[in-house]
Amino acid sequence: MNIKFYDFPVHGDDYGSLVAIEANKDIPFEIKRAYYIFATKMNVRRGLHAHKELEQIAVCVAGSCRFHLDDGYEKAEVLLNSSSKGLYIGKMIWREMCDFTPDCVLLILASLHYDLSDYVRDYQEFKKLSTEVALVKFDRFFLDLSWHWLNDPEINQMTMTGAITREDQLRFFESLDKRTDYTIFGIRAGVNAGVCGLKSIREGSAELFIYIGEKRLWRKGIGSRALEMLEQYGIQIGLHKIWLKVSKCNHNAFNFYLARGYRIASVSCEDERFHLMEKSL
């Protein structure tokens, strides 16, 4: 879940204590708005919404309260009871606050000005938006995520990526705008979930690649939906065949592609590491 705790340094002397919070230094965004909640009555739940683009830091500067958080896939419960600890809440996280103590003062630092259109107040609409799969631009944020994903030993083995350096990755990214044989997308499913694309695009065929980097989202149907959209994109650009390499260690992936119409390629493959699979579009 796209939440994180930030510990703020406490400065103090015999006269008391002070916590300073600087934008883009102590927290990861520019502060456009600040507000605080206080004098909340007993047994009241507040929040009950998500934000499409806004990011927040919540600090209980006095007393305590409890957050119930939901990203559409997982739920978490967090107690805020420290004036020197901030809770970062990313985009598209449903939040509900409860169990306010009588002395609770909850400070919120927000990355955007107030915008009513940024709110999602209906939970069923939130569930739909937060789990809807889309292929989006592969930007620097996805590039950084892919570095961490592909250096996970399990994902690295399944994708047969091997060793990569930051320099290699950056050169690859900077070459994308000039290439006509390579298309890459980020997979968005409420959260940034993975990467897919087509390479070696020529003469009506291409090699596909796809992986879900967020392992907690495995077996949620995201890869299947992303594959369908990638195949549709292939048809739109005139492909009549796509193929891929599937590690022989990755039995789940092999069966996944078999169930979606892929077959062992007619051309021989002498590499013992992978199956060569193909599908006509």
Half-sphere exposure of 209 (CA within 13 A, CB side): 20
CA distances from residue 192 to 2, 19, 128, 143, 217 in whole angstroms, order as listed: 10, 33, 15, 11, 10
Q: Does 275 participate in catalysis according to the annotation?
A: no
Q: How far is CA 222 from the centre of its chain?
A: 12
Residues 21/83, Cβ–Cβ less than 8 Å: no
Phi–psi pair at 97, nearest 5 degrees: -115, 140
* Active-site choice (49, 68, 148, 240): 49
Maximum CA extent, the chain:
80
Residues 272/239, Cβ–Cβ less than 8 Å: no
Any idea which residues carry the catalytic annotation?
Answer: 49
